[in-house]
Amino acid sequence: MNTKWKSVVKAHLAIARLDHSIKNLFVLPGVIVPLSVCPSLFNSQLIFKLVLAFISITLVACSNYVINEVLDAPFDRLHPVKRNRPAACGLVHIGAAYAQWLLMFAAGMAISLQVSRPFALTALALWLMGCLYNFPPVRTKDVPYLDVLTESINNPLRMLLGWYAVTTVLVPPVSLLIAYWMIGCYFMALKRFSELHEIGDRATAASYRASFKYYTRENLLVSVMFYAATGMLFLGAFIIRYRMELILGFPLVTLTMAIYLKLAFKSGSAVQNPEKLYREPLLMISFVTTALVMCLLLVIRIPQLEGFFMPTLPQVQVLPILPQTYR
């Protein structure tokens, strides 16, 4: 194989962004929560299904990354860092990239059908969201706020993929899914803020990403506050309803989010490239500690907490509304 073809193959491997597979960690809560409820679900067959599930998720996600690289190439050339991406540099064969996009999707879906039908439908939804995010005329990534909401919906979808790899009988709590979505929005909005903060000039930023025509650092931070508050509200609802012990890990969750917020103000922050967050030692220590504590709290019981949070106000009885009698 000559040097030219080697560079093309290398470029096509790069646009699949296999290094972004670290985002598959977002699948784990969907695996851990049902297993904490029904430990009997864990067996040798489940291990095999989880391996298939992670391969399927990786292929579908990589398919989305491929089309993202191809369609974003003209805009990436206007970005000080992303202009060095393979597609932006013209190293990618466009026809082959479209074939790569479809083949990775087809392979991922074929494997997903071996896991479960709900898993396959969720994998399809993950891929379709990638299409809505990238393809005109919809291209939600160019619409302010909708870009964050549609990109972050991948978080609860990943949780559902983990859940349906484990069980199709237990129903995932809606409160947990919404919390997961809003926390994802929090991270994504901070990524937008960090990008705008780094570029500085809004006109330059808008030439790279259309949504920056409307975004300012102020309204992005306001949205970050909204997503954080909503995420914590629904996480609290899940905790109070299903697993009171998790409330002890709540301060660690908020500490991790606070550290992430501070990183967004850092020049050249890894917040703009989440796959590189492992290079931030303080964040990683906080994240790993939080994950371990939350996992531990999922499997232990502390009955005293129930008594501590018992209602102290009198319960209001709601009387039925009787229809008026007309004479």
Inter-residue contact 242 to 173 (CB < 8 Å): yes
pLDDT digits (tens, 9 = 90+) for 236-288: 999 999 999 999 999 999 999 999 999 999 888 888 887 788 889 999 999 99
Question: What mean pLDDT comes out for the span 62-83?
Answer: 86
**Position 206 in a domain:** yes
pLDDT digits (tens, 9 = 90+) for 134-182: 999 999 999 999 999 999 999 999 999 999 999 999 999 999 999 999 9
**Position 27 in a domain:** yes
Encoded tokens for 171: 């129903």
pTM, rounded to two decimals: 0.89
Listed in sequence order, the DSSP H helices in the chain are 3-14, 28-37, 44-76, 94-112, 117-134, 146-152, 154-166, 174-199, 202-208, 217-242, 250-263, 281-299, 303-308
Domain that holds residue 158: 7-170
Residues 296, 192: one domain? yes
* Confidence tier at 324 by pLDDT (50, 70, 90): low
* Confidence tier at 327 by pLDDT (50, 70, 90): very low
Residues 137, 191: one domain? no
Residues 42, 182: one domain? no
Look at residue 129 in the predicted model and tell me its pLDDT.
96
Look at residue 320 in the predicted model and tell me its pLDDT.
64
Residues 194, 107: one domain? no
Q: How far is CA 131 from the centre of its chain?
A: 16
* Confidence tier at 307 by pLDDT (50, 70, 90): confident
Residue 305 scores a pLDDT above 60: yes
**Domain boundary residue, one of 143, 170, 197:** 170
Residues 28, 150: one domain? yes
Supply the mean pLDDT for the chain: 89
String of DSSP letters for 61-84: HHHHHHHHHHHHHHHHTTSTTGGG
Question: Which CATH number characterizes residue 133's domain?
Answer: 1.10.357.140
Residue 323 scores a pLDDT above 70: no
Show Cβ contacts of residue 306 under 8 Å, excluding neighbours closer than 6 positions. 244
